[in-house]
Amino acid sequence: MYQKKAPCTIILATVNILVFLVLSFMGMTEDAEFMLEHGAMYTPDIIYAGKYYELFTCMFLHFGFTHLMNNMLALTLMGWQLEQELGKIKFLLLYLLSGLAGNLLSLAVGMRTSEYYVSAGASGAIFGIIGGLFYIAVRNHGRIGNISGKRILFLMAVTLYHGFTSGGVDNSAHIGGAAAGIVLAFILYRKNRRRLEQEIQEEVW
């Protein structure tokens, strides 16, 4: 039974919403040029102008209300679960590093294809959460709380499929984020004592 709070999840969602509200008062969040001026990621900016901060700032920007709400719903529901498993600091590390990994893969793909787009959104980090949940579910006999590993994998596959069949979606960031989430969960996750005792009892009986 999960009764713990998830302060980092709430703080991250709040920061994303506040940033969106501030930018909405300043201009059009669906306008690529406006978003680029306020921290969205653009490959030539990073390569030629050294604006490396965009790899981080773009994680807190969203193109319009629907983009924001879809990501914040996913962050709140899945982040709450993962933060309880990892703890505050490890969860925050996984979230931020997964987002950066997704953006770095997006940057690498952009450099290789010479196709440049203005990118923004928390979805790379959120895919990191999904990847982390999947790894932990596998470690815990196919489940994490009330969620099965198969269900998480299905969610990841459907979301990626939707991205590849839709326009304007940074699929590289999603793939990079998910892969990083799995790797980081492998490094950071440790089963808590209560769960270990439960497994030992199950094996004994």
Residue type at position 53: Y
**Rounded to whole angstroms, what are the CA distances from 71 to 3, 11, 21, 105?**
23, 14, 15, 20
Name the one residue in this structure whose structure tokens are 């952009």. Answer: 110
| CA distances for 204 relative to 62, 161, 191, angstroms | 51, 43, 19
- Beta-ladder partners of 73: none
Residue 62 designated active-site: no
Which member of 123, 141, 162, 166 is catalytic?
123
d(CA 194, CA 205): 17
In single-letter form, the type of residue at position 80 comes to W
User: 47 with 111: CB under 8 angstroms?
Assistant: yes
Among 98, 119, 172, 174, the one annotated catalytic: 174
CA triplet 190, 197, 201: central angle to 5 degrees? Answer: 140
**CA dihedral (19, 21, 22, 25) positive or negative:** positive
**Active site annotation includes 119:** no
Q: Would you please indicate which residues are annotated as catalytic (active-site) residues? A: 123, 174
